[in-house]
Amino acid sequence: MQTDGAFATWTTGAPCAVKACCTLAGVVAITYRFIDCRWQLGNPPAGRELYRAGHVPGAAFLDVEADLSDPSVPDAGRHPLPPAEKFAAAAGRAGIGDGVFVVAYGSMGGAERLWWLLRHFGHADCAVMTGGIEAWGGLLESGEAEVEPREFVPRPREGDTATAEELQRRLADPGLVLVDARMPARYRGEPNEIDVIPGRIPGARNAPWSEPLPELPDGELVAYCGSGVTACVTLHRAWLAGREGRLYPGSWSEWEQRRLPAERG
């Protein structure tokens, strides 16, 4: 058991951990639910295969492509946000609901995408296990975990996303801090296998998702990437540093589809 002020946390060897929060009203138990969000761009089956090969005991799996996105939405980039009812169904199947504290882990921004979506749909009891499954110090289990479903009630937030139309209007706005979370080569617009039209949104700064968050100027933070997944890493790091930001969900894959202005170099 580890203690931290009024909190005591202890982890069992089974599916969940329980945190006892000491309040004036007494002790309130909170269930922890681990969620595996590993994935690989261009290889949709890889995430579940990795999960089945070995995951945190009791962890559920949510698929970045199928559960944390809605590819059926046309002309909105590679990973459009799922509608509330679709996300609620997936979250409920994974055992997420009121009174459940979610600990997400994954790869390539999968965990941070779930963190962002949970907050977007009103479930603030969530965290990211930074370092991914490699940071887990315990045993792993294979196969599919048996997860008791919960009811997830979406309570969508407003004001945490930006649209292509808004960004296009504000390209010259000095109060906008637009951040591109892609790797430097893609940010510079060098030819690559992912971007149909290489380049970046004019005026964007580069903050690669795989590197520490650089110092950014004051202003209204908006992050994007290739398709709205790894940009959530940037937003999570900013949030840990005490700064809120918005996500441009369509990101470069939508921007290039619309043939909107681009910079290179």
Q: Are 178 and 162 in contact (CB under 8 A)?
A: no
pLDDT of residue 29: 60
Q: Are 124 and 55 in contact (CB under 8 A)?
A: no
Q: Considering 16, 37, 126, 225, which one is annotated as catalytic?
A: 225
Beta bridge pairs of residue 180: 206, 224
Counting as low any pLDDT under 70, the low residues of the chain are: 1-30
Buried b (16+ CB within 10 A) or exposed e, 149-175: ebebebeeeeeebbebeebeebeeeee
Residue 223 DSSP class: E
Give Rg (Cα) of the chain: 19
For this structure, is 232 an active site residue? no
Task: Name every residue whose Cβ is closer than 8 Å to that of residue 126 and which is 6 or more positions away in sequence.
Answer: 101, 102, 103, 104, 114, 115, 118, 119
Q: Which domains does the chain have, with CATH numbers?
A: 2-135 (3.40.250.10), 164-257 (3.40.250.10)
The DSSP-derived string for 132-189 is GGGG--S--B-S--------------SSSB--HHHHHHTTT-TTEEEEE-S-HHHHHT
In three-state secondary structure terms, 47 is helix
pLDDT of residue 75: 87
Please give the single-letter amino acid code of residue 180.
Answer: D
pLDDT of residue 168: 97
Tell me how far apart the alpha carbons of residues 72 and 142 are, in angstroms, rounded to a whole number. Answer: 31
How many CB atoms sit inside 10 A of residue 135's CB? 9
Q: State both tokens at 121.
A: 């749909």
Kindly report the pTM of this predicted structure: 0.89
Task: Name every residue whose Cβ is closer than 8 Å to that of residue 242 and which is 6 or more positions away in sequence.
Answer: none
pLDDT tens digits, 149-206: 999 999 999 999 999 999 999 999 999 999 999 999 999 999 999 999 999 999 999 9
Tell the residue number behind the tokens 């030819």, with chain if given. 191
pLDDT of residue 22: 35
Q: State both tokens at 224.
A: 């994007």
